[in-house]
Chain A
């Protein structure tokens, strides 16, 4: 059930139709806005060596690191949790969001992990973020949200995906929700 722009009430009595559309349906939408979430359990982890932002899921499967969602003109939350590794000292793994195929953040994206020569242990690092996309950037309609990544220095970045790696059998999540 979607959202209908509330009317200006100019007269009473109400009609049955506008009571249901304006009050019932809009209340229900506010209670349960557009929401898509992936909780991944894959047979192998995701990896990249790309030096430019690329989709995490090369197969671009809907419901993994790609969510197509109809929004109604509100702000959008995009969230992620997972565990990342990069295999070379002095390199980084960098992340971006794309909306309808266009990277949302310029340059090196909006969040990243850098492995220094003194990085701890095996350099597996948890990453969790929640970012708002302002409504001005997401007009009402159908939109495709993807999570992208790249590495520097030719390094291999890994996103653990519940694939049974010993000590790193972690299940990442990626989700998109119209805030209200």
Chain B
């Protein structure tokens, strides 16, 4: 169920259909806006040795979520939250960078949204929640990418790795 721009009432003859569309359905959407959630559970952990930003996994429902948004509710642009909770590991010292793309457009220029410095053989958590603003009503694809400074980084994926069997989450939600 989506959102309908609330009508401007010009008379007081309220019809049942109007109440259902403009009041009931919109209240329901406010209670449960569109979202996409990936519980990161795979048979093997993710890894990269790319020194330029690359997809972690561009499969829909993994590190790519496509959702329909309804803007500010009145025909204008709105807001979307994008969040990651995950744990990184490497056998080498290196930096791991993350950035977000919306509809293929980079939202965090240069070295991206954030960087995690990993010491060799140390796990490090990464967690963020950021708003993407001015998102036009419609269908939008949100994707997470990463790169490293050198060597290979691992993003743990609840894959049964001894001592590092940790499940993360990547999610996208229209803010309201």
Which A residues fall within an 8 A CB radius of B?
1, 13-16, 19-20, 23-24, 27-28, 30-33, 35, 37, 41, 79, 81-83, 120-122, 124-126, 128, 130, 162, 164, 167-171, 173, 175, 177, 180
Contacts and interface: CB of A to CB of B under 8 A. Distances in A.
Interface residues of B, number: 47
B30 interface: yes
B14 A167 contact: no
B6 A27 contact: yes
Most buried by B among A31, A33, A168: A31
A170 B113 contact: yes
Contact of A177 (B27, B71, B131, B149): B131
B89 to A, nearest CB: 13
Interface stretch (B122-130, B138-146, B163-171): B122-130
Interface string B69-95: 011111010110000000000000101
A170 B115 CA distance: 8
B43 interface: no
Given A20-B8, A30-B176, A124-B115, A171 B110 contact: yes
B23 interface: yes
Interface string B12-34: 10100000001100110010000
Contacts of A120: 93, 117-119, 122
Contact of B9 (A16, A33, A128): A16
A84 to B, nearest CB: 10
A69 to B, nearest CB: 14
